[in-house]
A and B are shown apart, each in its own frame.
Chain A
Amino acid sequence: MSQALIQTGTRLLNALGKHSDLIMQAYIGGTVDEQNHSPKVLEQLVQLGVLWRPESQSELRLKSAVRTLLEGSLQDERNRTINANIGASLASLKTLAEHYKEALHYNKYNESAAHMSDLTEHVYQLSESLSNSVRVLFGRITNEFGYVSSVDAKIRENELAQGQVTDLLSQLECFRFDELSEIAGSNRELRHLLVVSLQQRFSKAAQELSVVQARLIDLLGRFREFQGRTRLLKGYLLHMEQHPDFAPGNYTNLTQVPILFNQSNSVISAAAPDVNNVEHENDYQEIVSSLTHIHQRKGKHDEADEPQDIDVTAQSTVSLEKDELQLAIEDFFCEVIDSGQPKTALTYYEEKALGFDREVWMYQVIGGYQALADQEKQFFALDPHGENDKTFTGNFYINDITLGLR
């Protein structure tokens, strides 16, 4: 018996694997395109209970068991059905427990073991379906019913989910732990399965469901608010279309101005720099140095910009007046040329009793010589008198200069 069962199961799984493309297409598209697949394959899948034909005219569809398997494993959010039939599962649990106890009573250990494994399977199935339902609900909440686009559809989806939560909660009430513990009696294994394991699952599910319910109500409130806002916006535009000259009353003239329209204006403007504040000197300097261009006041330019008569008479020639010192130097050079004798600068200075500083005079003599054109320089020779510094070599103090002709 079990050998045959294993073989059939393996054949079914192999068929699923072999025709996975077809099955996934059917899962996503809803129906099988019979033209693209050989009738033999389809026939085989129908016989294995993977596909079925709801009506003789309709196309082949996936069996719901396969679909549920895929939805469960893929965590597909389109899965909206929630198995809320806890009452029936509980009834079968009770029956199996009775079978097990009876078998034990008559010492049929083989039978009792089979019943036990069946019972374990059922208990775990029940807890899995509970946690699965909660997970599905949470999944839908977290993406805010993202699989439908309009807010209205979201509200409907939300209502469906709320109904399912209410169903689940009322089904959870079917758990009667006093009854279950009575059935379990003093049997340790039964007690563990029916009381401890189920109770843990039950309390967890109840807790999670209450969270789900609160979140759903929250979401519904948000959706309703969205709807309200959209209506408000659309209504306003419609109203403005129908009454283009509509203007809201001037609420600011009321004695009690509504807070919404009582918004004070800005009183703060930028502070001015205090240039006398020494602490800020550095900052100001930085600011000024980083200016790319300075806006200068234009106020005074305006007067100059006014039209004026243009004087076209000849401009008076500009005469460059030479400095007194420069004139004296020129005289000195001329005297050297006239006399043809070398003469020191200081001798000439004393002869003429000039009023300049002596040092300035000396510098200017050197400067005057250097200022001559190269050609003229050739006629003169400049010979400084002086001494080296006593301590530092390379420093030469000039006391006097002799200017002569070459």
Chain B
Amino acid sequence: MMTEQGRVLSALLQGTFICQVTDEEAWRFLKNREKAQQLEPHLAMLNRTLSSTAEGDVFFASYLTIGEAERKMLTQQFQDTASNLVPLVEWLLLVQQANESDMPVTMGNAIRLNELQTTIEDTPAYAEQLEKISRYRMFGSTSVNLDGQLKQVFKRLTEMGYLTKPNPEKQIYLATGKVEHLYEMLRFIDETEALSLSEQADAAITQCSLL
């Protein structure tokens, strides 16, 4: 039998993101400052430390000191992330638009696959968009029908930890804290590269309305 502490520790060492949606018990454990502090020595032994994003609502393990090997590892990881950004952003926008509520996907949002599928099937523009998204290397769908593409995209996203399926019987997915992490990364890139993305979007919207 593993203690709660051991369970949380091993989850962190596996490189998973812990948030309220994926693992509420572990999340509560980490929210407790004292208990989280108890983990630090164990993590430090393996050159890791506890980090959080999304205003302290998502936890993960990061490297304590970064040497050659770690840097190589991180660079590889970063390149993966950077190349996955466009497909992920396109997918987020597709879900947001097809949801009809105009709400961006955030942690804890429920996505009902059947409803989403109906909306996408009824709107050729969305269907085209889905096809484009599913062809990205990250999702790697070769399916020609919409059903297969959608399932593949959701399967991959669940594998990568952006979504979780609380009930295996039902086609309802919940967005996890990793989605928040994605937004944070976008925001960071926006700020560091001085892209002023929001202004660009605003300008595009006003241009559209002028036309």
- B residues 69-95 touching A (CB-CB < 8 Å): 70-71, 73-75, 77-79, 81-82, 85-86, 89-90, 92-93
A251→B189 CA distance, assembly (Å): 9
A72→B15 CA distance, assembly (Å): 55
- A residues 235-272 touching B (CB-CB < 8 Å): 235-240, 247-253, 257-268
User: Would B197 and A251 count as touching, CB distance under 8 A?
Assistant: no
Interface of B is mostly: helix
A150→B197 CA distance, assembly (Å): 20
User: Would B93 and A233 count as touching, CB distance under 8 A?
Assistant: yes
Q: Pick from A238, A251, A265: contact of B201, CB below 8 A.
A: A238
Q: Pick from A226, A266, A267: contact of B104, CB below 8 A.
A: A226
A238→B199 CA distance, assembly (Å): 11
| Given A248-B193, A262-B51, A263-B77, A237 contacting B181 (CB threshold 8 A) | no
| Given A251-B192, A258-B188, A263 contacting B71 (CB threshold 8 A) | no
Q: Is B63 an interface residue (CB 8 A)?
A: yes
Q: Is B211 an interface residue (CB 8 A)?
A: no
User: Would B185 and A260 count as touching, CB distance under 8 A?
Assistant: yes
User: Would A251 and B78 count as touching, CB distance under 8 A?
Assistant: yes
Q: Is A354 an interface residue (CB 8 A)?
A: no
Q: Is B169 an interface residue (CB 8 A)?
A: no
Q: Pick from A151, A232, A267: contact of B197, CB below 8 A.
A: A232
Q: Is A192 an interface residue (CB 8 A)?
A: no
Determine the chain B residues whose CB is within 8 A of the CB of A228 once the complex forms.
198
User: Would A231 and B183 count as touching, CB distance under 8 A?
Assistant: no
For chain B, the bracket of interface size reads 35 or more
Q: Pick from A248, A253, A259, A267: contact of B71, CB below 8 A.
A: A253
Q: How many residues of A contact B (CB 8 A)?
A: 36
Interface of A is mostly: helix
Q: Is B14 an interface residue (CB 8 A)?
A: yes
Q: Pick from B13, B46, B53: contact of A259, CB below 8 A.
A: B53
Q: Is B36 an interface residue (CB 8 A)?
A: no
Determine the chain A residues whose CB is within 8 A of the CB of B10 once the complex forms.
268
Convert A150-168 into 0s and 1s, putting 1 for each residue whose CB lies closer than 8 angstroms to a CB of B. 1100000000000000000
Task: List 5 A-B pairs, minimum CB-CB distance, nearest first.
Answer: A235-B197, A235-B201, A262-B62, A252-B74, A231-B198
Q: List 6 A-B contacts (CB under 8 A).
A: A151-B103, A231-B197, A250-B78, A261-B81, A264-B13, A268-B13
**Residues of chain B having any CB pair with chain A under 8 Å:** 10, 13-15, 46, 48, 51, 53, 60-63, 66, 70-71, 73-75, 77-79, 81-82, 85-86, 89-90, 92-93, 96, 100-104, 106, 181, 183-190, 192-193, 195-202, 204
11 new A-B contacts, CB < 8 A, other than A231-B201, A248-B192, A267-B14, are: A234-B93, A236-B197, A257-B71, A260-B185, A262-B74, A263-B60, A263-B77, A264-B13, A266-B13, A268-B10, A268-B13
